[in-house]
A and B are shown apart, each in its own frame.
Chain A
Amino acid sequence: MSDMVIPRKRVRFGNWLPTTKATLGGLTVIGWGVLLTGVMAMVVFLVVGWWVTGLLTLVLALAVDAVFIIRWGDPTSGRTAAARILDRRIDAVRHKDGTNRYKTGLFTELPDEALTALPGMLAGLEEIPGVDGTGEEYVLLEHRGETRAPLLAATFSCDPDGTALLPQDQIDSQVSAFGGWIVTLSQDTAIEGAVIVVDSAQESTEPLVAKIDSEVSSAAPLVAQRQLMEGARALSGTYADVEVFASVVWNAKELADDVEDAAAEIGAKLPQHRADLAAAGAGSPVLTTSQDLARAVRVAYRPDRAREFGSDDLAGLTFRMKVTEAGPDEFDDSARRICYHDGVASMTAMMVAPPMMHITEDYLNRLFKPNGKFLRKRTAVFYRPLTPGAAVKAAKKLRDGARRSATAKGQPSEFDQYRQELAKATERDLVTGASMTAFAIEVTVTFEPTKRGIRDATQELKNILEGTGISYRFVETDTAAGFHSTLPLGMLPWAYATVAQTITDRTN
């Protein structure tokens, strides 16, 4: 009998549509409106003889379009000049104020109750502890904002087996269940978003060797003691440390009148999310405690703390730090792109466009798996679900935009036609029960703060992103905020967007 197995056709994914408005000649409808208004005003002014005013009006209209409307670079993921100017301006102000450096500890000027607080907008993070149905403790993180309702984030720690040795039908079933979990995000209108963070490192086996040495029994025969210790030293130099965190973030006001009642509501919703994530191949998700998150954060600030914590575990020392007190010893994001913290350096890149081809579910594994070139790597995938009603409207808008772009030109390009097909496919998916979500990806890598470390890390990160077909750009300013967005704290970037960002980058 032949052992040949006829390969099944793999399921492919790839209908991604930009959330930015459709353009014609680089201008949105508003952009065209501004331009046409400018032209008409100019005509009127010319007719009445106000030549200079007429010309100035046109220049003004062109300037508004150039600064606020046109996305320079990629038409869908490029940035407006206003957004770039705002970034530079804010960077300069932070530089002048000295707030692009953060120092914690007793001999700093931080208030006594916040000597080791998290930096920036996370300094106001609050913890709401809870106990789940099985008696296990967990914590909800309350993200407060000046202008918006408080957000409550619950984070699950997952332990997936991976798909390397799974049959394709089981993988497909898990991926489909993952899609099911994304649907549930849309069904709960109180959910503001979710983020999955894959935190990975190739750790040294040094602490593992120490752990094994500590387990050697003095009552064991000497040869067995020697064999065990030799075995520990014969292990490969590294072991993969991969932690996957899934955070779901709720808008407290959508759930109840006060935060406590909202937390109780969330407590009742968590078991379903746990079950859904488990079915999606996340292993056995466990709700994280403040200590779990504090540990992840402290390791992110300085990866070799993982070794220190491992030794503490061995010595029976309980890790008691709270996440809200897990700030870095120091954090410096005064340089462009690279931020320095607790003796190491990090940089963050964000996806500006997903792979253009249709991909299989394992295509982006390289993005998620541990990489020995970094001390640590965190890949965060953000989901901003749309309610079913909003999804239908968004799909219609996408279809109309794509059609407008295609029909406005005498000869629609392949790209225009492809975009129309994607919009149609999206509507078809919605009709068959799918939900719609906006998604974004950010990757933070940590490395040695040396010239070589920076060069190697930059090169490797570029390799990974280019190798996976992802268009990207590095976070060049506000790198501290970028770094913290990829921590498993349920920090949704859009929830922290300022009014100025909303106008200049038209992010919402």
Chain B
Amino acid sequence: MATSMTKRLRRTPMGFFGENGGAWRQVPQPPRYFSTSVQVCGIYPFGVGTGRPVDGSPLGRDMQTGSAICTDHDALYRANIISSPSAFEFGLNGNGKSSTAQTLIGGQVGRGLTPGVFDPIKGEHVPWIQSLGGTVFSIGPRATHQLNLMSPGPLGIAAQRIGGTVGAELLLLARAKSIDLVKLCVRINRGPEEPVTDIEETAIEAIVDTILEHTGPTEVPVTADLLRAFDEVSPLMLARTGQATAETFHSRFRRLGETLRSLMTGQMGQMLSGANSVEFNPGNPGGFCFDTSSIGVGNTKLLSAAMLSTWSLGMDAIDAHWELAQHESAKAAEAHANGEVYEPQVTWGGYTTMFDEFWYPLRACEGMVDLVDGLSRTNRSVGTADLKISHSPKDLLSLRNPDDREKAKGFIERSGLLLLMALSREDLRELAKVRSLTQAEIDLVAGFNRASSWKGHRRIKGTKGAPPGAGKVLLKISERVGIPVQMLRTPTQMRLHDTDTRYQQ
């Protein structure tokens, strides 16, 4: 029967009476019980955590509820959940710290962030960055690339492309960076026992300025020019250092000359003055990776110089990328105003940096803590999400220098997101002094690596194995209960990242 179009149902306090009106005549009354507030609160409705984060990189599943978890420090920062887009990952060897980092960063890169990877010791991120089309700089005395302390670097390239006032400002910044790098290398080469004096720093500035003055617009100075400039003293050098003649200059700065000469010899010399120096092309969405794994971990001076230089270069690359993107965006806006269309050649989607084996440079390199401290305080302003990876919180909390210890503690305090893989109870207790961890969280993380039994199945040749704690991570943000996650690995990732090759043979 066709439904009548006449509106005959009428609203009453019980609903609409009539066919299909749905009126109720009564509401079922559940039996009630009396209790006092101190008893009825035991029926606690907030015991079950609500929805898990589903914004950000796909990470895996919640080990408690089996729910999907998607998050990362960039997404959390953008959602105003954490105050700085930074993360710190801790975990004992063999539990998949690097894989976890790649899962996290990979999601961010897929969303348009550019990766910047600092891979000091193992070189395990190189194939991944290569597959992304990023630039890999393998640095070392006999590696593919060498360092050029005098190169204007990415800032210089950006300055050339942009020109004008901004270009001039970038060149000034590039000059300052060169001076800083030379000072750092001189300091590293001498070691902590022999500091660089203030007048020596003035001399270094004068030497660098002399070199830059005598370099043509199409020429690129090299590290060896430092020594040449020292030998052929310029009036600028004399004026700045208050010396009358080249002889008095050489006499006054004899020790600096020796240090510069020493920098140019041996493995350090090979690394700093090779022909194939690191030259950036800012704006590559595949990002970059600095690989210093060819330098032996025992060669502290060399590795320190390499790492300090690459971190500085990396940050310059990000700044240069930003300036170029701004410049291109301005060009597009100008073209639009003139009724034309201009497709920007460089766009900005933000950067995500990864500092793997973070413990090493902090322990090996004097001055590294300050450099990173500065970075971790400003990573919002340079548009960088950063992830630091280390074995144990103790790596940071037991540095020799008390000032360094305090600053390193600050890295953990300021990290918006903590990723805790299998760690010892002692490590976790140390960490709990800096960031709140509940006993249940400590027990959980300490138990990640607990084998289910002494007996296991022997691996078949060619297959990958995994310890009990592999891929288990506790995600933690400030003052909130952590979320334990079993990380996922995608086929692409597994193809590109394998640190277990020798055991598979």
Contact = CB atoms under 8 A, between A and B. Distances in A.
Interface stretch (B194-202, B371-379, B439-447): B439-447
Given A112-B7, A220-B111, A370-B65, A183 B13 contact: no
B458 interface: no
Interface string B54-76: 10011111101111111000000
Nearest to B2: A107
B256 to A, nearest CB: 45
A236 B4 contact: no
Interface stretch (B268-276, B390-398, B485-493): B485-493
16 contacts: A14-B42, A16-B33, A94-B23, A101-B22, A103-B20, A162-B47, A165-B441, A176-B38, A178-B44, A225-B110, A227-B493, A230-B490, A234-B488, A426-B36, A496-B26, A501-B26
Contact of A394 (B13, B34, B40): B34
Contacts of A11: 42
Contacts of B49: 160-162, 164, 240, 242
B367 interface: no
A271 to B, nearest CB: 19
Contacts of B332: none
Interface in A421-463: 426, 429-430, 432, 434-442
Interface string B5-22: 111111101111111111
B1 interface: no
A98 B19 contact: yes
Contacts of B109: 220-221, 224, 227-228
A469 B29 CA distance: 21
A345 to B, nearest CB: 16
Contacts of B61: 235-236
B29 A501 contact: yes
B45 A368 contact: yes
Interface residues of A, number: 157
Nearest to B25: A90
Contacts of A430: 36
A144 B32 contact: no
Contact of A361 (B6, B20, B42, B111): B42
Interface in A476-506: 477-478, 480-482, 485, 491, 493-494, 496-498, 500-501, 505
Contacts of A174: 44, 46
Interface of B: 3-11, 13-52, 54, 57-62, 64-70, 103, 106-107, 109-112, 131-134, 285-286, 347, 349, 425, 438-441, 444, 480-482, 484, 488-493, 496
A88 B28 CA distance: 12
A165 B440 contact: yes
B33 A182 contact: no
Interface stretch (A128-136, A279-287, A406-414): A279-287
B489 to A, nearest CB: 8
A162 B210 CA distance: 65
Interface string A150-191: 000000001111111111001000111011101100100000
A25 B14 CA distance: 38
A98 B8 CA distance: 14
A111 B15 CA distance: 12
A216 B19 contact: no
Contacts of B50: 158-162, 242-244, 283
Nearest to B287: A221
B258 to A, nearest CB: 47
The 7 closest A-B pairs by CB, nearest first: A13-B42, A102-B22, A162-B49, A228-B110, A217-B112, A120-B24, A179-B41
B30 A351 contact: yes
A111 B67 contact: no
Contacts of A438: 32-34
Interface stretch (A36-44, A55-63, A376-384): A376-384
A110 B17 CA distance: 10
A261 interface: no
Contacts of B24: 99, 119-121, 478, 480-481
Given A162-B49, A435-B36, A439-B35, A507 B29 contact: yes
A241 interface: yes
A215 interface: yes
Interface string A255-294: 0000000000000000000000000111100000000000
A138 interface: no
B438 A170 contact: yes
A19 B42 contact: no
A53 interface: no
Interface stretch (A27-35, A296-304, A315-323, A352-360): A352-360
Given A217-B110, A228-B110, A493-B27, A240 B35 contact: no
Contacts of B40: 13, 16, 179, 182, 383, 437, 439
A145 B14 CA distance: 9
Contacts of B29: 493-494, 497, 501, 505, 507
B18 A97 contact: yes
A212 interface: yes
Contacts of A121: 13-15, 24, 27
A50 interface: no
Contact of B27 (A5, A112, A212, A497): A497
Contacts of A101: 19-20, 22
Contacts of A64: none
Contact of A364 (B9, B43, B60, B425): B43
A107 B3 contact: yes
A264 to B, nearest CB: 26
Interface string A329-363: 00100000000000000001011111000011111
Given A90-B25, A123-B15, A166-B440, A208 B285 contact: no
A351 B40 CA distance: 14
Nearest to A16: B33
A146 B111 CA distance: 57
Nearest to A124: B13
B110 to A, nearest CB: 3
Nearest to A397: B34
Contact of A114 (B11, B65, B132): B11
A311 interface: no
Given A108-B20, A497-B29, A160 B46 contact: yes
Contacts of A352: 30-31
Given A165-B482, A220-B112, A368 B68 contact: no
Nearest to A476: B28
Contact of B43 (A77, A117, A354, A475): A354
Contacts of B7: 109-112
A359 B46 contact: no
A164 B46 CA distance: 11
A369 B58 contact: no
Contacts of A379: 45
A305 interface: no
B492 A227 contact: yes
A429 B36 contact: yes
Contacts of A501: 26, 29
A81 to B, nearest CB: 16
B34 A228 contact: no
A493 B30 contact: yes
Contacts of A16: 33-35, 39-40
Contact of A158 (B16, B46, B444): B46
Contacts of A99: 15-25
Contacts of A232: 58, 70
A87 B17 CA distance: 18
A164 B35 contact: no
**Interface hub of A124, A164, A398 (most chain B Cβ within 10 A):** A164
Nearest to B496: A223
